[in-house]
Amino acid sequence: MSELYPKPVFSKKAGRLLKTRLWPTERWASPWSQPQYRRSAGMLAGIIFGILLVGVVVGELSKWGDLLYRLLLTGTAWLHQTLPAYGAPAGFLGDAADITWISFKVIVIVAVINLNGLWAVWWERKLSAHMQSRLGPMYAGGFHGWAQTALDAVKLLLKEDARPADADGAVHRLAPVVVIVPAVLAFAPVLFGKELAAAKLDVGALYVLAVSGVSVIGIVMAGWASNNKFSLLGGLRSAAQVVSYEIPRIFAVVPVLMFVGSLDLAVIDQAQQGYWWGFFPRWFVFWFPAGPLAFLLFLIASLAETNRVPFDIPEAESELVAGFMTEYSGMKWALFFLAEYAYVLLACFMLSVFFLGGGAAPLPFLAIVPSWIWMLAKALAMMFLFMWLRWTLPRFRVDQLMDFNWKFLLPWSFACVGLAGIMLLWI
């Protein structure tokens, strides 16, 4: 262990512990947590690693997308010309090309969700460890336990799939599927960069918010089918929470939609390009006063929608064991977590598209950096915020949660829509 904790030398002259190298965060750290702060290298490496991992898949490969699609189409057209004897109807090969192409996109999206789950769990573990002055995973893989989540996934695959004897079999088995499927579906119109989305939907913004609300049915199914009081309570809490917080969440987006006049995510992204006075980005979060207010409301409501601390009462482990997940094990349990992290990523992308300018660079001269890097960096910064909040705040009580939604968030979201209307009079 002596290698992990190099002994600091106490210098009488300086009056403090001396070290050869100091990370910027170390200077303000308490002496007790200084050895942990030394591991900040791992944090930085993690962020860069994540950007590369998710970004290379989506950002770089997608550039070849149009070319691939054209190749596919010409290939099928050639097939149709050379092999007309098979008597396939004229539209058939075109349809086949479309189906293949859509499957490609789905595979890319599923890869994003899986990689995000793999990476975000590790990041969250490291982050929580650093915030609470411990090390987190350190051994698996060698460098800062980078292989921990991958090995965890292997472990979860090998685990016994336990099911209570009195559980409702079909519903219990289907619940994780109902949770994960909307998570994948909701990613369809998500912008990963400028004009970089799997599907161009005219109602994209509303679609994402609508489809991501369906997962709660799966959570309630899991809670009920487990035939367990803790699970049922978790499921019921989740239903009440998600249905209530969906309202201010949608109303918080309304000011943005009013500014843009469209529900299309690409148009919303496009509307935030450009700068005031040549350097100040025209992101909606800076459209005082409705913009920052809507951003805050959407952030809080998104936290609640993704069931994360301080809004994680559906799975509050101090009261409900693990809530709706109590009776799940192995890969089914992992699917719930995968869906949770997918929703966190989705909420972060939504935050960056709606309020943080999407693929727009913060300063004009930085526009040479590709838009998908900006989009991803903003989304990951928001993800960091989510995790930061999770590991620093205690959780709400059930009644506080409902009061907070109905008596604070909802009136303020209405006020926000009104403010946006007044602002539109002057713009």
Partner 1 sequence: MIEVAVFCSMAAVALVSAVLVVTLRNTVHCALFLGLSLAGVAGVFGTLAADFLFVSQILIYVGGIAVLMIFAVMLMGRTSDLTLRQVNQEWLAGLLVCAITAAGLLRQAKGFLGKAADAPARALAAQAATKPLGRLMLGDFAVPFELISLVLMAALLGAIFFTRKEDEPKSTENGKPGRGGGT
In the complex, the residues that contact partner 1 under the rule CB under 8 A are 89, 91-92, 95, 98-99, 168, 171, 201-203, 206-207, 209-211, 213-214, 216-217, 220-221, 223-224, 232, 235-236, 239-240, 242-243, 246, 250, 261-264
Q: Which is nearer to partner 1, 63 or 407 (CB)?
A: 407
- Distance in Å, CB of 59 to partner 1, minimum: 27
- Distance in Å, CB of 165 to partner 1, minimum: 17
Q: How many other C-beta atoms can be found within 10 angstroms of the C-beta atom of residue 385?
A: 14
Give 274-309 as a 3 state SS string: CEECCCEECCHHHCCCHHHHHHHHHHHHHHHHCCCC
Q: How many other C-beta atoms can be found within 10 angstroms of the C-beta atom of residue 393?
A: 13
- Distance in Å, CB of 250 to partner 1, minimum: 8
- Distance in Å, CB of 294 to partner 1, minimum: 19
Q: Which is nearer to partner 1, 120 or 222 (CB)?
A: 222
Q: Do 389 and 131 contact (CB within 8 A), yes or no? A: no
Q: Which is nearer to partner 1, 156 or 240 (CB)?
A: 240
- Distance in Å, CB of 302 to partner 1, minimum: 15
How far is it, in rounded angstroms, from Cα 256 to Cα 277?
22
Q: Which is nearer to partner 1, 106 or 209 (CB)?
A: 209
Q: Do 148 and 128 contact (CB within 8 A), yes or no? A: no
Task: State both tokens at 11.
Answer: 């210098």
Q: Which is nearer to partner 1, 244 or 371 (CB)?
A: 244
Q: Which is nearer to partner 1, 239 or 377 (CB)?
A: 239
- Distance in Å, CB of 73 to partner 1, minimum: 15
